[in-house]
């Protein structure tokens, strides 16, 4: 078992930290602090968050802020704000890193900002702490990505390795929807494997972050710019994933919240970034019918027709739709990927369709309204065997159960 003692570390990456352009309102915002008399003295965010010129503090706080197109410009959540406030008020140096693009050279907007050690008067310290937080809030809501990529794992690892303070608190404000290897959730597929197994594979490949002794807080998990619907199973899976990453990295503490603060009117990033697909019913509403597509990887384990307990969350609304429409019928169709023995694929798709229908009945749907059929790999949505080899990302699209709800035709 590796030691959990915190060792002073610095990033060994050969390139200096990159910078990015932020609007003047972000870093040059004038704030006021009490002067010697009653008249406030104007101080800009650049001054307030200027690099320390003295001895390094033994305490540091790093804010990693997601500025990609899939995360909304918003102020800090209550929990994130509280953790930052506590560290800043206790003389921590401040770092602000943007989560965007390649993480090998983190984008720092603030690096080693001077602690408030000179602000001995409680009231003055309180004002400086509050205004530092306001500057951080304003900065992150006006920053925008300059390059594509959401590398949560790489940015977390790089930011942790760049700080040598004995006590390091890291606040990650992001939806956690990483689309960059080795934690590319479009390839790993949310929900298909237990988070512990995903992290174990990362650790075996030497890709777990080094968080020795750090206190880590994730804020805003699963929140998206477009307010995409997120099933509780997905939210729980991501929460567990990042907790397991903290354990693997030997963090001293790890907490998670799925909230953000107030959404702002600032324009989101315009740099295109592939969004991570979220498991859940893909519903297509047509004039004569409604089609619900569910990924088999979320409903079943590989090559299994036994439903996972979490499937109820996805199937309950569909069962309700069939139950409350006395004139409705539902066709449940199982589909598999290509490859393997066609007869086996056919049998698996049939068993999966039957398992879904049985669960819909258990959830209240009328048995007389349900029909099942298994198509095997005959109706693939995409070609998953180019050059005769199965492509997993395409195969995942083809492995599905479709439920088509149609009003009965009156005669």
Segment 370-388 shows an average pLDDT of 93
Q: Which has more confidence, 388 or 100?
A: 100
The matching CATH number, chosen from 3.30.1330.60, 2.60.40.1120, 3.30.420.40, 1.10.10.10, for 282-407 is: 3.30.1330.60
pLDDT for position 123: 82
Query: Between vectors from CA 213 to CA 208 and to CA 215, what angle results, nearest 5°?
Result: 90
Q: Which segments of the chain belong to CATH 3.30.1330.60?
A: 282-407
CA–CA gap between residue 294 and residue 400 (Å, rounded): 5
- Runs of H (alpha helix) within 143-248: 152-161, 185-188, 195-204, 232-248
pLDDT for position 105: 76
221-241 pLDDT tens trace: 999 998 888 888 889 999 999
Strands ordered across the beta sheet of 59-66: 107-113, 93-99, 59-66, 167-173, 215-219, 253-257
Which of 409, 133, 201, 205 has the alpha carbon at shortest distance from 289?
A: 409
Q: Which has more confidence, 398 or 8?
A: 398
CA–CA gap between residue 374 and residue 351 (Å, rounded): 8
Provide the 10 A C-beta neighbour count for residue 402: 22
CB 321 within 8 A of CB 313: no
Q: Is the pLDDT of residue 55 over 80?
A: no
pLDDT for position 32: 43
Q: Which segments of the chain belong to CATH 3.40.50?
A: 28-257
CA–CA gap between residue 181 and residue 267 (Å, rounded): 28
136-157 pLDDT tens trace: 999 999 998 999 999 999 999 9
CATH class label, 28-257: alpha beta
CA–CA gap between residue 106 and residue 401 (Å, rounded): 42
Q: Is the pLDDT of residue 22 over 80?
A: no
Q: Which has more confidence, 367 or 390?
A: 367
302-357 pLDDT tens trace: 899 999 888 898 899 999 999 998 789 999 999 999 988 999 999 999 999 999 99
pLDDT for position 54: 67
Q: Which has more confidence, 9 or 164?
A: 164
The pTM of the full predicted model, rounded to 2 decimals, is 0.79
CB 346 within 8 A of CB 374: yes
Lowest mean pLDDT across 123-132, 197-206, 365-374: 123-132
CA–CA gap between residue 190 and residue 173 (Å, rounded): 20
Q: Calculate helix-pair angle for 122-142, 78-88, nearest 10 degrees.
A: 130
Which of 246, 249, 244, 183 has the alpha carbon at shortest distance from 217?
A: 246
Q: Which has more confidence, 80 or 192?
A: 80
């Amino acid at each position: 078992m590796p030691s959990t003692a915190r060792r002073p570390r610095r990033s060994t990456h050969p390139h200096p930290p990159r910078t990015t352009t932020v609007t003047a309102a972000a870093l040059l915002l004038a704030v006021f602090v009490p002067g010697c008399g009653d008249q406030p003295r104007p101080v800009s965010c650049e001054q307030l968050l200027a690099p320390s010129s003295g001895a390094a503090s033994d305490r540091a706080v790093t804010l990693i802020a997601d500025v990609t197109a899939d995360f909304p410009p918003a102020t800090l959540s209550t929990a994130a704000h509280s953790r930052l406030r506590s560290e800043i008020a206790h003389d921590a140096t401040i770092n602000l890193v943007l989560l965007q693009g390649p993480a090998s050279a983190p984008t720092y907007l603030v690096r080693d900002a001077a602690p408030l050690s000179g602000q001995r008067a409680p009231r003055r310290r309180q004002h400086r702490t509050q205004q530092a937080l306001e500057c951080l809030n304003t900065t992150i809501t006006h920053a925008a990505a300059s390059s594509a990529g959401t590398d949560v794992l790489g940015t977390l690892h790089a930011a942790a390795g760049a700080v040598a303070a004995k006590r390091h608190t890291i606040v990650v404000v992001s939806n956690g929807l990483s689309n960059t290897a080795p934690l590319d959730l479009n390839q790993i597929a949310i929900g298909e494997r237990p988070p512990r197994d995903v992290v174990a594979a990362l650790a075996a490949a030497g890709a777990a972050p080094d968080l020795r002794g750090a206190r880590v807080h994730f804020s805003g998990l699963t929140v998206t710019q477009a307010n995409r619907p997120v099933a509780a199973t997905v939210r729980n899976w991501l929460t567990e994933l990042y907790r397991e990453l903290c354990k693997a990295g030997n963090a001293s503490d790890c907490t998670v919240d799925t909230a953000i603060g107030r959404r702002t009117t600032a324009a989101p990033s315009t740099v295109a970034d592939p969004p991570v697909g979220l498991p859940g019913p893909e519903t297509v509403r047509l004039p004569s019918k409604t089609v619900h597509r569910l990924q088999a990887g979320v409903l079943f384990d590989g090559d299994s027709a036994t439903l996972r307990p979490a499937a109820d969350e996805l199937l309950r609304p569909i069962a309700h739709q069939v139950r409350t429409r006395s004139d409705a019928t539902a066709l449940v169709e199982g589909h598999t990927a290509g490859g393997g023995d066609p007869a086996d694929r056919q049998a698996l798709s049939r068993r999966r369709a039957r398992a879904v229908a049985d669960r819909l009945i258990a959830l209240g749907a009328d048995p007389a309204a349900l029909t099942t059929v298994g198509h095997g790999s005959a109706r693939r949505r995409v070609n998953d065997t180019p050059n005769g080899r199965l492509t997993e990302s395409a195969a995942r699209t083809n492995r599905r159960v479709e439920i088509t709800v149609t009003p009965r035709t009156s005669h």
